Each structure stands twice: as C-alpha cells, then as structure tokens.
Structure 1
Amino acid sequence: MLAAFLCTLALLASQSQSTPVQKVLEIPTPEAKPRPLHGRFLHITDLHPDPFYVPGTSTARACHRKIPKKKKNRAGYYGTPYAECDSPLRLTNYTLDFLEKNWAGEIDFVVWTGDNARHDDDNKLPRTPKEIYDLNRAVAKKMNSVFASKGIPVIPSLGNNDIWPHNILTPGPNGITNEFSLIWQSFIPFQYHQVFQRGAYYAVEVVPNALAVISLNTLYFYDSNKAVGGCSFNEPDDPGNLELDWLEVQLKIFRDRGMQVWLTGHVPPSSSNYFPECYVRYADLALKFQDTVVGHLYGHMNADHFFYVEAADLELDKDSPVNALKKGRDLYKSLLQEFALLPKSKKIDLDEYAIINVGPSVVPNPLPTFRIFTYNITGVDDAVVDGSPVQQMDTPKERLPKGSKASQCEEERYRDTWKCKLEFNPPSDPNAPSRSSKLWTPLGYAQYFIPKLEDADKANHPRFKLEYTTFPAAMLRPAKGQNETEFRYPIPLKNLPKSIRKGEVKNKYFPYEMKDLTVGSWMDLARKLGDMSSSNSTHLRKKFRQFMYLEL
C-alpha cells in the first residue's frame, strides 16, 4: 500500500510540474469572462496528511504500526480524534471533495494557511525533504483541481511543518523558497515570483482594485526558527525585518489605491509565538493600517479562538497578554484573564485594537474543521471581477501620538529597540470596513466539523455538519414579509441544518449572535467573556471553551 501511494505521489508530482501555469489569479483582461461575487470565502488550515497512517494501529505509535489490545487506542479509518496522529489521506481527500461538491460554487477565494505535511513525531520513520515536497505538491494539485481551475483564487501560506527540518528556515532565496515557488506557481501572481523566492510571501488581488489577501511567511517571525535574527533593529537585513518592510510598502500601496486587505499566515502573531521585536513591528502595522486591514487569519494552534493586539503592547514596560503561555499558562485561562481587564464599552478606544482570528485544523486534533466567512458586498450586487475599480475608501484622519518615551528610550536596554524607533500614530477611521459594516466588512462565519469521526468506516462515510455560526439566527433567513428573491443569504440554505432551513432556532448554533465581525463586535464579545459577574457570561465562556477545544 505504501509503495503504491508513493508511486501515486510521484505521478502527481510529475503532472504538477508539467501542468501549464494557470492565469486565473492574475488581473483579468477586459475580455476575460466575468466572475460574479458571492461574498464568501473559505479558510482552511493544518491538513497534515500522513502517507504512513494505517487504520487499526496504535495511537501511541503515531498511528503507524502495532495493533493495541484496547479498541480505544486504535487508529480510526478516517482519522483518530483527540489523538496525536496526523490525517489519513482518505480524510484530506474526503474534505477537499466535500468542499468541491458543496462549496466551490459558493465562494470567491480560498485562504489556506499551511502545514500540508505530517509532523515529525515518529523516530522510526523520520520525515525527508522529498516526502514533504511530494505531499505539498499533491495537496496543491488537489487545490488546483477543486478551486483554482474553476477561477477561484487560492492563497497558500508556508507552515512550520512544510519545511525540513521543521521550524527552521534560513534567509532566502534558498532551496525551500525555490521549491515552493514551483509547487505554488499557479497560485502566485507573476509579479510576485521574485519576492516569493526571496522570502515566501506575496499578495493576491482576489477582487482586482478592491480586495487583496497578503500571505505572510511567519517562519521569519517565529521564535522557534533559530536561523534568523528575530527582527532586531540593528539587523536591517534580517529576513523578518525585510518582510515587514515589504509589508508596510504593500499596505501603503493598497491604502493609496483605496483597497482593503486580509493578512494571513500560519503562526499567529503573539509574543508567545513571535520574536519580541517581530511582534512589536507586526502590532504596529496592524494598528497603523486598521483602516486598510479588514482582518487577520492564522492557523497552527489547532484551537478555535481569537485574541487582539493592542496599542499597549507597544509600551516599553508592557508584555502581550498571550505571553503568559510562555510561563506555562493555559491558553483559555490566559485569554479570559486578558478579556477581564478590558475597559468598559464607553471608555475603550477601538483605534488601539486589531483582532487576530485563529482557525481550527483539518487534522483531527481534536476534530476535522473548516470555516466559511461571509463578507459585505452590498452595493455591488451585480459586481464582477472585471479589473475595474469598485469603491474608493475615505482618507483616514491622523491622530496625535500618545505620550512620550523619550526619557526611557535613552536607557541602554531600550535604546535600540523597535518600540523606541517606531512612531506610533495610527489613523482614526471609525468608518473603515474593519470598524463599521460596509463594503468588504467581514460579517460572520460558519464553522463545520465532523462530530463522530470515530464511527466512520468503509461502509459509513463521515459527515461534515454545522458546528456553530457567529450570526444571529434572524440574519440567516429573510424577515417576515421580505422578498426572498432579493435576500442575500449569508450561508446558502442547502448548507444549513434542516432545522434552520425550516426556520427553527436552536441555540447551540448561535452562541455569539454577532451583528458583524468588526473590531467593535469582537471587543464586545471579549468583554462579555471576561465578565466574571454575569451568569450569562458563564454560559458563554462554557461555549467558548467547548468550541476552542471541541469538548463535545
């Protein structure tokens, strides 16, 4: 079986390399066939396919060998939930086939945030660069077939397990960036190929002249990568600094063009994940360009959650809240502790926050999951991706800098740090799409999962079901008396449970009831989660933890 799979991978690899470069992600010419907008996109992450996965083997042996006496310790046919095993190929294929059948015709683009090879968890079966590249090539070929070949832009990011050895990436150009420029050649716009070979980051205009997705190489910020300098101010040529310099230029260009941007990557930006100086620079850009960046999407953590970067993270004596993880704190408790410290609604300055969304994984650790985001396309009901401008954004107003660090920055420990070198002066624009519901604002998401993966076998295929949605129930169907033909369904009715299609409201699907996914709406949810005095918040925290770790 293994030999047959490796032969298949080799065939896929040769086919992938011989396939003509697709042009679906380049700005279409006026003669190109228009592609109507649906106002939805897919976020998928951490597939971790494992060609050596064998059903029935021991979960203590990475699901690779030995048959344990107890059934509960055996690898499942489609995967093993809540275990330290990767995905069998039948699970990753099933997931992408399901998406092709049920969602490819309903979305505008795909954000794919990395880790398409197995973990290095089996000393008797170590990973090799060839295996990693072959797996990535095979998954990319499948993504091409399911999405890109249909004109749907796919924006992949490099994961920490997509390289050998894992976590370690030297400054580019190098063998890894060159290899992935070939593997992802049909996804990366031509004008970014040289940039990608240097650092494995790039941008795609998913709605030309209106909406872009920037794929960041977070390995140059990741503090487990000991091959880089960690964005030190005194090392301007450090690859993390070069990438953030590039990002700032891109954001300025997109702002000047009146466009909105999603920032995406594999490892989420926090001081528990990033080198301190890289984190400071990312937080600074996230806040300075809050008027341009409509959202931040990441993976890696295998836990459904959100957090925020804030202006206070740029103060000299302030650590980020998630830094508590380095001290052995539980992620859930750490987040709630920080949420509890938020100011009251009337006192909070939303200019000083940016929201980071972390999506759960396809690998069943704990269960296979993906998200469908819905965003506002009101005003472009007949819009097509034809290369013409859709809407220009208002110019944000500059704010006066807060406080002064001059005296502290004279101290040796602070003198050559980014906190002292950056001029934090974020623009104030409450009308930006990240702050108020208008064109391109993210409105909500629906999260799907396989709740009983352990029951699936040859005769009983798994089933993706709606886990929850951030929308209120009333937003999913037209109001009484409203014309159904004029109503834009946030989630297609065919992809909702039968009870919701019938108009029934089951609270398990609607835990948050958020009107949209603006900064203000996320901060309201964070404040509710952190309110230890409310009985309603107790129930909300229980649901948040349940979704975070899929504690069914």
Structure 2
Amino acid sequence: MIKVPLCALVVFLTTQVLASPAQTPLRDIVSENETATSAAPRKLHGRFLHITDMHPDPHYSFHASTSKSCHGKKAKKKRKRAGYWGTPDVECDSPLRLIDLTLDYLDKNWADEIDFVVWTGDNARHDEDHHIPRTLDEILDQNKRMAMKMEKIFSKKGIPVVPSLGNNDIWQQNILAPGPNKITNEFASLWSPFIPFPQRQVFQRGAYYSTEVIPGHLAVISLNTLYFYDSNKAVGGCQYGDDDDPGNLEFDWLEVQLKQFRDKNIQVMITGHIPPSLGNYYPECYVRYTEMSLRFQDTILGHLYGHMNLDYFSFMEEIDLEIIPGEEEEGPRAKGGRNGLYETLLREFEQLPEESEEERLDGLAVINVAPSVVPNPFVPAFRIFSYNVSGDGLMGARKQREHGHRRGRKGNKDDVCKDKRYDKSWKCHLQKSWHTDRDAPSRRNQALTPLGYAQYYMPDIATANKTQAPRYELEYVTYPVSALGSGDWEPVPVRHLPRALREGRKGKRYAPYGLRDLTVGSWVGLGRRLGQGAEKRVRRRFREYMGVSG
C-alpha cells in the first residue's frame, strides 16, 4: 500500500504561472516512515503520466499472420506478417516486448520527473482469436504482471499509481455483475499496492475508489465505468428508483466523495476506462455523470479516460440535462469510425459559447480521451500532463468554497416532468445546487490547475526490427512555443524536447494549439477554433492527432 502523508511541504510561491514560466517546484513530501537520512524527500515536479490500453498478448508471434490476431505460424505473404515490436492498422494486440520497452522507457526517462500515474485500464488482450479463447486465469496473470511492473517502476519510488478497471480486464468481456464477486476480490488483491486500505471494502463491492495523490491537496477518483457501460447487460443502467443498481450505488458513493473533498478544499481528478458519452453509457448513467460533473465543477479539475484508442476531447453540457420531447438524444459517438466522430465533434464545437461568456461556461465540463499503447489501429502513445504547483493555495489559508451559487436550470421540467414518460428519468429529479466558481482551479490558472500535456508516440514501430528498437518521440504539445525552454520550471524538461524546439525552429509543427492552460475556458476556445474552421491548419492537426498522426 502506498502511504504518502504530507509531513513537509516547502513552497516557494511565485507571482506568475505558465504564461510567465517562473515556476519553481520546490515542494518536499516525506513519508512518515522516512527520515531525512534514510530517504531523499519526494519533490513535486508538477507533472503526471496518463497511460492506457496496453493490451499485452502473450500469444503474439513475430511474423505470424495479421489476419489471425498475429498468432501462430509464419505467414506466407510478407505484407501480412506481424512486426517484431507490434503491428499498426490490424487487429493485433501488443507483444510483451513492446510493453516492456514502453515501461522501461518510462522508468529511465520519466519516473524521476512525475508526481503520480493515471493508468486507465485494459491490461489483457482482446478476445479476437477463437482458436485461443481468453481465460480468466490468463487475464489475471497479465494484470498481475502489469501491476508488479508498475509497482516496481513507480510505487516503490513513492509515486502513487491510480489504476482503473478496463472492459477487457474481466471475463466475460464487458460483463461485470454487482460486487463483491471474483473479479472485484481478485483486483483488490492485485492492486493492493495502489488502493488505500480504507478504500478496500468499497473496492471489493464495486471496483472503484479514491486516493489522495498529494495528501490534503489533490485526489484522484478511479471509477468503474463498466457499471455505466451499455454493453454490460448484467446491470440495470442507473434507472431512477433502482437503489440497488450498481451504477446508482457508484454515483451515490461518488457524490459523497466529492462532497467530502470539497469540504476539505481538496481538488479532484476523475479517471476511468470508458469515457462518458451517449454512445458509450446507458442514458440515465450519462445523465447522472453529467449532472454531478457540472454540480462539482469547482472541485473537479478534469476527466481522464482511454478505451477509444483515439486522441480527442469532448464536452458534457448543461443541455444534456434538458428534456426535449420527441427528439432523439444524441451525443459524441464513434459510429462510422474516426471520421464519424470527428464530424460529430466539429458540429458540437461550433455551438460552443465564447470564452468570455462565463455563465455559459458554468454549464460545461471537459473530457480528455488519451490514445493507447497498443498499436491497434494506430501507433503507441502516452501523455505527460503538467499542473500548477507554484500558484497560491498549496500552503496556508485556501479559499473556502461557498455553497452552491445557483441551481441547475429547470427549463420546462415542471411541465414536462408531469408526463409519465419522463417522470422516471433522472433529469426530472436532479435539482441540487451547483457549485460553480469562476475563480476555481478548473476555471482560472492557479495552484493545481492543469496546464497542458505533451504527447509521445512511436512513429517507427512498423519499420523497427530485432536490432533496431523503435523510439518514442514527441508528437505534439498543447502549450504555446513560448512556454517551452524559457524558465526555471519547464512543463516539458528540455531534454525531452526535439532539437527543433530546443533551438527554437519549426515550433508550430509541435505546438499548433498554443493553449495557455487546460481550464474550461481554454478548451472552449480551442473547440470554437476547430468548430468554426477558420484555422484550417489547426483542424488538420486535430484530425491527424485523433489517429495519432496516422
């Protein structure tokens, strides 16, 4: 079990943040069971790793047929042979050597540069090969192997790891019954180094939990999204009045967690495997997630997910809680593949408000979906986020959050909800006060505000071989070029930047977005730029990034 109490937090505050990068991460966190002589204090670097969908496949075979999940004997046709390190653009999972290469790279290059790890699931292969069907033992063995590696690289160095359960981490795929059950009990054991002891009983019931990655300041809540997923036919879909539905029980627990963290002035990241959308969640589960995300906008810093094997962001909006009689509910869906989702997102982005429309920003929350390590269908990738550790608020008196500034807009609900067709919808029953604060870290750059991320990918995986291993390279950053290599604190350490950026050349190739931070307003600004289409180069980059530059 990771135990990182905050015994010493030395803070040198600066008066500026990312826009003027004088950020100096000089926070020391020392474990209670450590002394100054027995272990070096843990520094807060203002960065964390998000990694997802590794899908290790112990049956992957070099030169096997790509039409047979890269399993079995050598394929006759060269163009159909599996690559040594992995094979993009086909339905094959990751060879174990790719997983080891990735984690060894993170150990060598990033473990000393980050504060915690968000790890959003799918650590077993897909069930694509009917000649070698998956078994629960194999799934658990792969998850055990992955957990041991993550513990060795990160946890044993004092870096909290926050895993989430993926839809391929269970047997049968996608189907998880209410807990406690064999799956929740097994993962409670496998993930014992990562789950705080007081959360173990909750985890055994539902495979969700929370942990304070910076004690007293920042928590991460890991959700079990399988209880919201519309492919899981073992649950009821969060129907109003079904108090025993595991999705409703999870949201009831989440509400209590958010209230407690808010009362303690602790900011929260919410993570999980399957991103919230009407294309993924049962409709009533999506309503509850959206309402809670907007109600606690002053406490939630962001929503981090995987599963889609794509790179994109989307919004949960206040309009998602309105009742529109006779109109089919729509949301960001992946129907039609990447192109269908791309077009849907652009249509939604076009309707976003101006950044200056603060009241409308009160009704928005941002979902970040990260690409996968498994090269299916694109090349491997991971993200390094940065967050503000120099702004006001990490030490001393912090602003007490006021009680709800307003209630969710009722619209025409008083009339519509008299109709029996809608009385059983959560939309007619979620009228609690919303906690919106335009000076919260999710809205204004200050202590703990997410500042941006750098995405690394492996463009040469298809051409690499036994003697020439593939390499991770910077794909893009969300920051402006001026924020890189220009201060005492770097959102991306200079040694991790390509030469062109280090030397100030061709910066826009790597930094087309130029976001000042990752507040709601910044994401809305980028969304509007994409939706309106005036900046064709930015649109083109966004589309390329969705497929990890594929």
Relative to structure 1, is the Cα distance of residues 129 and 460 closer, same or farther in structure 2, using a 3 angstrom cutoff? same
Per mean C-alpha deviation after superposition, the further-off stretch among 337-346 and 217-226 is: 337-346
Q: CA deviation at 1:53?
A: 0.2
Q: Which of residues 37, 54, 74 in structure 1 aligns to 2:44?
A: 37
Gaps of 5+ in 1: 1-21, 479-483
Q: CA deviation at 1:220?
A: 0.3
Contact 2:404 2:433 in 1 (8 A): no
Relative to structure 1, is the Cα distance of residues 506 and 127 closer, same or farther in structure 2, using a 3 angstrom cutoff? same
Q: Structure 1: which amino acid aligns with 2:341? A: L
Q: CA offsets per residue over residues 407-426 of structure 1, 9 Å max, x none?
A: 11111110111000110542
Q: Structure 2: which amino acid aligns with 1:335? A: L
Q: In the alignment, which residue of structure 2 is the partner of 1:546?
A: 544
1:451 counterpart SS class: coil
Q: Structure 1: which amino acid aligns with 2:366? A: I
Per mean C-alpha deviation after superposition, the further-off stretch among 97-106 and 64-73 is: 64-73
Q: Structure 1: which amino acid aligns with 2:527? A: A
Q: Which of residues 351, 354, 370 in structure 1 aligns to 2:365?
A: 354
Contact 1:59 1:73 in 2 (8 A): yes
Q: CA deviation at 1:337?
A: 1.3
Counterparts of 2:5 and 2:407, CA distance in 1: 39
Relative to structure 1, is the Cα distance of residues 323 and 368 closer, same or farther in structure 2, using a 3 angstrom cutoff? closer
Q: CA deviation at 1:540?
A: 1.3
Q: In the alignment, which residue of structure 2 is the partner of 1:503?
A: 504
Give the TM-score normalised by the residue count of structure 1: 0.90
Give the TM-score normalised by the residue count of structure 2: 0.90
Q: CA offsets per residue over residues 287-342 of structure 1, 9 Å max, x none?
A: 00000000000000000000000000000127665355458881111111111222
Q: Which of residues 331, 338, 347 in structure 1 aligns to 2:348?
A: 338
Q: Which of residues 416, 436, 442 in structure 2 aligns to 1:428?
A: 436
Q: CA offsets per residue over residues 249-277 of structure 1, 9 Å max, x none?
A: 00000000001000000000111100011
Q: In the alignment, which residue of structure 2 is the partner of 1:247?
A: 254
Contact 1:58 1:65 in 2 (8 A): yes
Contact 1:82 1:364 in 2 (8 A): yes
Q: Structure 2: which amino acid aligns with 1:372? A: I
**1:56 and 2:67 aligned:** no
Q: In the alignment, which residue of structure 2 is the partner of 1:493?
A: 494
Contact 2:407 2:432 in 1 (8 A): no
Counterparts of 2:138 and 2:510, CA distance in 1: 40
Alignment of 1:85-124 (within 5 A): 85-124=92-131
Q: Structure 1: which amino acid aligns with 2:132? A: L
1:87 counterpart SS class: coil
Contact 2:271 2:304 in 1 (8 A): yes
2:541 counterpart SS class: helix
Q: In the alignment, which residue of structure 2 is the partner of 1:14?
A: none
Q: CA deviation at 1:541?
A: 1.2
1:99 counterpart SS class: helix
Counterparts of 2:514 and 2:79, CA distance in 1: 37
Contact 2:46 2:115 in 1 (8 A): yes
Counterparts of 1:488 and 1:319, CA distance in 2: 49
Contact 1:210 1:390 in 2 (8 A): no
Contact 1:321 1:334 in 2 (8 A): no
Q: In the alignment, which residue of structure 2 is the partner of 1:452?
A: 460
Q: Structure 1: which amino acid aligns with 2:192? A: Q
Q: Structure 1: which amino acid aligns with 2:516? A: K
Contact 1:27 1:205 in 2 (8 A): no
Q: In the alignment, which residue of structure 1 is the partner of 2:266?
A: 259
Alignment of 1:158-197 (within 5 A): 158-197=165-204
Counterparts of 2:3 and 2:32, CA distance in 1: 14
More helix by share: 1
Counterparts of 1:441 and 1:63, CA distance in 2: 43
Alignment of 1:292-441 (within 5 A): 292-317=299-324, 321-322=330-331, 325=334, 330-347=340-357, 349-365=360-376, 366-379=378-391, 391-395=398-402, 397-402=404-409, 403-423=411-431, 425-441=433-449
Counterparts of 1:434 and 1:143, CA distance in 2: 29
1:84 counterpart SS class: coil
Relative to structure 1, is the Cα distance of residues 298 and 31 closer, same or farther in structure 2, using a 3 angstrom cutoff? same
Gaps of 5+ in 2: 8-30, 36-40
Q: In the alignment, which residue of structure 2 is the partner of 1:19?
A: none
Q: CA deviation at 1:491?
A: 0.7
Q: CA offsets per residue over residues 383-431 of structure 1, 9 Å max, x none?
A: 7xxxx87845543551144234111111111011100011054223110
Q: CA deviation at 1:344?
A: 4.1
Contact 1:44 1:370 in 2 (8 A): yes
2:462 counterpart SS class: helix
Q: CA offsets per residue over residues 101-127 of structure 1, 9 Å max, x none?
A: 000000000000000000000000000
Contact 1:375 1:443 in 2 (8 A): yes
Counterparts of 1:320 and 1:521, CA distance in 2: 27
Counterparts of 1:209 and 1:153, CA distance in 2: 14
Q: In the alignment, which residue of structure 2 is the partner of 1:514?
A: 515
Q: CA deviation at 1:35?
A: 1.7
Counterparts of 2:188 and 2:5, CA distance in 1: 16
Contact 2:116 2:213 in 1 (8 A): yes
2:422 counterpart SS class: helix
Relative to structure 1, is the Cα distance of residues 320 and 435 closer, same or farther in structure 2, using a 3 angstrom cutoff? farther
Q: CA deviation at 1:49?
A: 0.1
Q: Structure 1: which amino acid aligns with 2:200? A: H
Counterparts of 1:139 and 1:319, CA distance in 2: 42
Contact 2:2 2:195 in 1 (8 A): no
Q: CA offsets per residue over residues 6-42 of structure 1, 9 Å max, x none?
A: xxxxxxxxxxxxxxxx444566765545421000000
Counterparts of 2:398 and 2:33, CA distance in 1: 22
Q: In the alignment, which residue of structure 2 is the partner of 1:468?
A: 476
Q: Structure 2: which amino acid aligns with 1:79? A: G
Alignment of 1:112-151 (within 5 A): 112-151=119-158
Relative to structure 1, is the Cα distance of residues 441 and 315 closer, same or farther in structure 2, using a 3 angstrom cutoff? same
Identity %: 54
2:71 counterpart SS class: coil
**1:527 and 2:528 aligned:** yes
Q: CA deviation at 1:347?
A: 4.6
Counterparts of 2:517 and 2:330, CA distance in 1: 25
Contact 1:53 1:86 in 2 (8 A): yes
Q: Structure 2: which amino acid aligns with 1:330? A: G
Contact 2:353 2:524 in 1 (8 A): no
Counterparts of 2:412 and 2:521, CA distance in 1: 27
Q: In the alignment, which residue of structure 1 is the partner of 2:13?
A: none
1:49 counterpart SS class: coil
Q: CA offsets per residue over residues 512-532 of structure 1, 9 Å max, x none?
A: 100000000001101110004
Relative to structure 1, is the Cα distance of residues 345 and 91 closer, same or farther in structure 2, using a 3 angstrom cutoff? same
